[in-house]
Chain A
Amino acid sequence: DSGVTQTPKHLITATGQRVTLRCSPRSGDLSVYWYQQSLDQGLQFLIQYYNGEERAKGNILERFSAQQFPDLHSELNLSSLELGDSALYFCASSVQDSHYNEQFFGPGTRLTVL
């Protein structure tokens, strides 16, 4: 158990809908990262927050957004969903914003868009 929790575990929805994925980092970790894992794109970085502020963006679509709250939990919002958004979404956390620090991954949320 990494100490990172993600809810829900599975999500099935229809095209055009909007969903919210939630992540609670390990106790004491200030940095939260979101990654998408799909068969065709592999594991890709989406966005990072550090202590409530957006720190870096990767290959995140404009239809996707995220935030980190004062209690450090984070939410990833996916809107106008398309079939191609079906993937496993991972949240990871680390103590600080440093390339030395390993990231601890949650179990993921499997999103299926029908």
Chain B
Amino acid sequence: GDSVTQMEGPVTLSEEAFLTINCTYTATGYPSLFWYVQYPGEGLQLLLKATKADDKGSNKGFEATYRKETTSFHLEKGSVQVSDSAVYFCALSDQAGANNLFFGTGTRLTVIP
């Protein structure tokens, strides 16, 4: 079945540090891949997405590349800010099944000044 494995947190970084959050997936079809972010007390917001192999999604300085050969979609940012502190969820939606999202467990990021 479909699943997403995400790097366990929490992750604590200093401001301006480089961020990587690993995400790998298992899917029966050709999934679309997403990163969602959840700020404290709020719902999930789409951060970026990629719908086919080798696509790169990017937004607000965050990037992730859809790697079919390694079934991965790692999230990166070159220089994090305090305002990036949140929980990040990797997710997939599989063409072969229903179009619901399968989520990873979430990674809590704290950025300290």
Contacts and interface: CB of A to CB of B under 8 A. Distances in A.
Interface of A: 2, 4, 31, 33, 35, 42-45, 48, 55-56, 58, 90, 92, 94, 97-108
B74 to A, nearest CB: 19
Given A43-B103, A99-B93, A55 B45 contact: no
Q: Please tell me the size bucket of the interface on B.
A: 20 to 34
A43 B99 contact: no
Contact of A108 (B36, B43, B45, B97): B43
Given A99-B32, A99-B93, A99-B95, A45 B102 contact: yes
Contacts, number: 62
A98 B105 CA distance: 23
Contacts of B97: 56
A23 to B, nearest CB: 11
Q: Which residue, B98, B99, B104, has most C-beta atoms of chain A within 10 A?
A: B99
A106 B106 contact: no
A98 B99 contact: yes
B108 interface: no
26 contacts: A31-B99, A33-B101, A35-B101, A42-B103, A42-B104, A42-B105, A43-B106, A44-B103, A55-B98, A55-B99, A58-B100, A90-B43, A99-B31, A99-B94, A99-B95, A99-B99, A100-B32, A100-B51, A102-B46, A102-B49, A105-B36, A105-B43, A105-B44, A106-B43, A107-B42, A108-B43
